[in-house]
Amino acid sequence: MFEIIERDLAGRIGILETKHGKIETPAIAPVINPAKNILPPSSIIGIGFPLLMTNAYIIKRHYGDLATELGVHKILGVEKPVMTDSGAYQFMVYGKIEVTPEEILKFEKAIESDIGVILDLPTPPGISREEALRRVEETLKRAEKAVSEKPSEMLLVGPVQGGIYIDLVEYSARKLSTLDFDVYAVGGFTQLMEQYTFTSMVDAVVAAKRHLPPNKPLHLFGGGNPVMLPLAVALGVDLFDSASYALYAKDLRYMTSHGVLRFERLRELPCECPVCSKYTVEDLRDIPIEELERKIALHNLYVLSKEIKTIKQAIHEGWLWELLEEKASRQPALMDALLRLKKYLDYLERHHPITRQPVRGLNFASITSLWRPEIYRHLKRLYERYTPPENKTLLLLPETREKPYTRFGPIAYIYEAVKEMNYPYHLVVYSPIFGIVPIELSEVYPLSQYNASKLLANDPEKIAFENIKRYLKTFSNYYNGIFLVIDQELIKFPDEEISELKSEISLKVLSYSISSIRSKEQGIEFFEKISGLNVD
């Protein structure tokens, strides 16, 4: 029913089958007001959205019996997949609704919804833990009942509740995972996300994902700000619904991939969508307000569509992390969310692919690049699986620009010298990015396939130092001697840190201009210098 075809971080591209056709995920379902929508649903489908979201409760109240006669697809005038919400949102806003969970589920089936949500009890921020628990339990009861009467035609959505109470989210997800839903969902963060607070959503999605079946799609209710889409997808969200295109348009807010702008502050239309390439700002200022709202809504949909395509392309090529960094770099709230990911590196690493074809180099440009799962994975594996050769002398060398070290640049010449002269040395490179790289691993992806900014290479003492210490603590008993080579041109090493290292571990320190080694012969000279030291 749901097939995962590509992965990056904990994000994936998948295919979800419904009775009105396949949905490629990640996907956004634009929310359609069945009473009166700002744009005809068919024109939204025309942009390329593979499904729509509408509200069964509103349809029921608005169309009554006519709805079951027509079906939701005729009402919306589309023959593509339609997802229906159940009135839970209305319950949340108005405190009550006039329908039972059984009635609305029956109605969703009757109007031939492709994906139906059960009538859950949302847990928005602001409610007490007790109330949240009560709603979780009630939702679980309804979930059990709904699954026991599961329709064969309609995919059923099981909403995880708990909100900001992460233990309740985990409990809810664990319980729901035992029930055979086709799609799971997380909700309750719309208000927080509208206020540009994303960390609770991050916590809740990871908590839910850790307990839900990994091969089922996850829906995030109400995440429509384009800036947060890559983050949610990276965590494992597959489906979104959003009324943002219309709500923002009503407020004359114009989406861009750089953030949401106010129409009255536009001097340009920084977009090439079919709306914006046809008009200038001045043209749009002159049209009636309702028409302007419609045009902005249409533009906003094009931006959302483009954002989803960009995310898919990023997953395909493996640059979803870089897209996250791009979004976070100018949005403090997203940067805070990216900082939060540090807590979940283990989760991200477990889902992140080992390699991909064709191989693509990684870009380490920001401070946040240092917690990419590739780095976390390398160090994890090093300390879990690696064993150094025995009875050799450890030679710790600073990283050079040329990579892989085994083949290019000064370290390659040193390595050749070792091989030719049978020197009893084991070369291990310390790096501001990957920490510690034993020479024999240096060709393993992505240890040599990356570009790093000087921002990271300039202030690496701490990292290099920590990693050297950890490596020595773990493996020093394999070696019969330790040399730490320092080249201040390559990696700056404060004197205090050298003395601290010396006080903890027995090692010899050698300052040497590694960068000046430009031949195997100079590599051999380097070892002559070392063996001089050895005798001392």
302 near a second copy, rule: CB under 8 A:
yes
Is 85 assigned a catalytic role? yes
303 near a second copy, rule: CB under 8 A:
yes
Q: How far is CA 506 from CA 46, 197, 527, in A?
A: 70, 49, 20
Least distance from a second copy to the Cβ atom of residue 16, Å:
17
Helices (H), 329-460: 332-341, 345-351, 373-385, 409-421, 454-457
Least distance from a second copy to the Cβ atom of residue 317, Å:
6
Stretch in the footprint of a second copy (CB under 8 A) among 375-383, 396-404, 412-420, 452-460:
452-460
240 near a second copy, rule: CB under 8 A:
no
Strands of 390-477, DSSP E: 392-398, 425-431, 435-438, 450-452
70 near a second copy, rule: CB under 8 A:
no
Instruction: Return d(Cα 352, Cα 368) in angstroms, integer.
Output: 17
98 near a second copy, rule: CB under 8 A:
no
Bond before 159 cis per omega within 30 degrees? no
Stretch in the footprint of a second copy (CB under 8 A) among 52-60, 145-153, 169-177, 333-341:
333-341
Instruction: Return d(Cα 175, Cα 391) in angstroms, integer.
Output: 54
Contacts of 254 (CB under 8 A, 6+ apart): 248, 260, 261, 262, 263, 266, 296, 299, 300
> Which is closer to a second copy, CB of 15 or CB of 147?
15
The SS3 of residue 37 is coil
Among 272, 283, 390, 420, binds a second copy (CB under 8 A): 272
Structure tokens at 477: 């008993």
Site for a second copy in 343-362 (CB under 8 A): 358
Catalytic residue among 85, 120, 182, 203: 85
Are the CB atoms for 87 and 99 separated by under 8 Å? yes
Site for a second copy in 101-160 (CB under 8 A): none
285 near a second copy, rule: CB under 8 A:
no
Least distance from a second copy to the Cβ atom of residue 268, Å:
4
Return the DSSP state at 523: H
194 near a second copy, rule: CB under 8 A:
no
Structure tokens at 281: 């700002």
Site for a second copy in 422-451 (CB under 8 A): 451
365 near a second copy, rule: CB under 8 A:
yes
Residues identified as active-site:
85
> Which residues of this chain interact with a second copy, rule CB under 8 A?
256-258, 261, 265-274, 277, 302-303, 305-306, 309-310, 312-314, 316-317, 319, 322-323, 325-326, 328-336, 339, 358, 363-368, 451-455, 458
